[in-house]
């Protein structure tokens, strides 16, 4: 009865405090911002910072979900200087924003600004989902400031057995016609598409909530994740067109025909230490297609981490704090320059966001 009461009260419940780790904005351009996290009590112990590149069509705070359940907060407390791109919300005027502008110019400026702000030559870059594809492409094209690359649940092979691949390759899907008619592709359409990947997911979530209604921590985490999952953003029309046509319909990245800013992207040009992370039950980015990056790059220092779990759950669940997060941390620590104890710098809490 308690669980049923909680479910019935959901529409009237106050939203959980998502994305609230203190931070400052160190760069702002068009709709996107570069955030630098400043966790009270955190001390920078490693010279090279970490830049988090989230997916373009999801809010960045999946990596900063809740106090005590935030990957960004946790990483700061482990001693890293942490930055993250907040892609913001595109307006109607962004319908012609190109893939080149986002994948190359925006990601490039975020990398350079992170390095400049931290006072270093190279940084660690983590890309999640579509953000990983962006990070991989940019690193292959412009590797100068990337110390290590982490591809977290990152699509590389797009012609796979997944439903997204099958749906985008039907002859009746015309991405340009969608963009021409709608401008930015509405978040409602994107949201519905992902829901159709697993039509019974909402029902299974309800059962899970009822089963664990006694666990306040679990319930709060569920609400936070639902808040993020229902807070999607639209996809700039011109970028969407190339993304679907080039990557999904032509599988151009793995075939070596994908171009960024007029230059061909060769995955073999990725030579920095690389960490490829895949998940067994990922229905959005099937793990075999994501793992292909390991075989395509020229890096001699590369690791493949395959874990159980789903595309989102394995990244933000309670088990992530003992399985995924420590593995990511170790990869970076082993390739970072420790700050001398006398030079360790406390990161002051942000006065404003």
Catalytic option among 76, 129, 137, 272: 129
Catalytic residue (one of 60, 124, 138, 311): 311
- 84 labelled catalytic: no
Give the dihedral sign, CA 80/139/325/327.
negative
Of the candidates 98, 107, 124, 95, the one whose C-alpha atom is nearest the C-alpha of residue 54 is 107
Tokens of 96: 């012609």
353 and 23 in contact (C-beta within 8 Å)?
Answer: yes
Instruction: Sheet containing 123-128: give its strands across.
Output: 23-29, 32-37, 82-86, 50-53, 123-128, 146-152, 274-279, 302-307
- Decide if 311 is catalytic: yes
| CB-based contact 107:129 (threshold 8 Å) | no
**Radius of gyration for the chain, computed over Cα atoms and rounded to the nearest angstrom:** 20
Query: Alpha helices of 96-162 — where are they, by DSSP H?
Result: 99-100, 107-118, 130-141
Q: How far are the Cα atoms of 93, 103, 123, 136, 153 from residue 139, in angstroms, in the given order? A: 29, 10, 11, 5, 17
Q: Which residues are catalytic?
A: 129, 282, 311
């Amino acid at each position: 009865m308690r669980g049923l009461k909680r479910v019935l009260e959901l529409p009237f419940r106050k939203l959980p405090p998502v994305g609230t780790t203190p931070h400052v904005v160190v760069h702002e351009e068009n709709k996107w911002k570069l955030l630098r996290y400043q966790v009270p009590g955190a001390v920078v112990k490693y010279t090279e910072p970490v830049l988090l590149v989230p997916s373009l069509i999801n809010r960045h705070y999946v990596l900063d979900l809740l106090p005590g359940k935030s990957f960004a907060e946790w990483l700061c407390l482990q001693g890293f200087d942490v930055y993250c791109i907040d892609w913001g919300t595109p307006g109607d005027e962004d319908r012609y924003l190109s893939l080149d502008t986002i994948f190359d110019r925006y990601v490039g400026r975020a990398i350079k600004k992170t390095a400049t702000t931290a006072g270093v030559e190279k940084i660690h870059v983590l890309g999640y989902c579509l953000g990983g594809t962006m990070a991989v492409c940019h690193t292959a094209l412009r590797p100068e400031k990337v110390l290590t690359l982490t591809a977290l649940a990152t699509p590389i092979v797009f012609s796979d057995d997944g439903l997204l691949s099958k749906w985008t390759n039907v002859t009746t899907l015309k991405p340009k016609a969608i963009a021409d008619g709608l401008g930015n592709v509405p978040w409602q359409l994107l949201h519905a598409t992902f829901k159709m990947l697993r039509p019974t997911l909402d029902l299974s979530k309800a059962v899970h909530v009822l089963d664990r209604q006694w666990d306040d921590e679990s319930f709060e985490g569920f609400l936070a994740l639902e808040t993020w999952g229902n807070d999607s953003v639209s996809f700039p029309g011109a970028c969407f067109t190339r993304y679907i046509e080039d990557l999904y319909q032509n599988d151009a990245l793995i075939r070596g025909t994908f171009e960024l800013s007029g230059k061909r992207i060769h995955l073999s040009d990725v030579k920095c230490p690389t960490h490829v992370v895949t998940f067994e039950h990922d229905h959005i980015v099937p793990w075999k297609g994501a793992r292909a990056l390991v075989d395509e790059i020229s890096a001699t220092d590369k690791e493949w981490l395959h874990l159980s779990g789903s595309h989102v759950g394995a990244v933000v669940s309670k088990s992530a704090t003992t399985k995924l997060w420590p593995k990511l941390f170790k990869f970076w620590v082993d390739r970072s320059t420790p700050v001398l104890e006398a030079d360790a710098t406390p990161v002051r809490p942000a006065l404003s966001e």
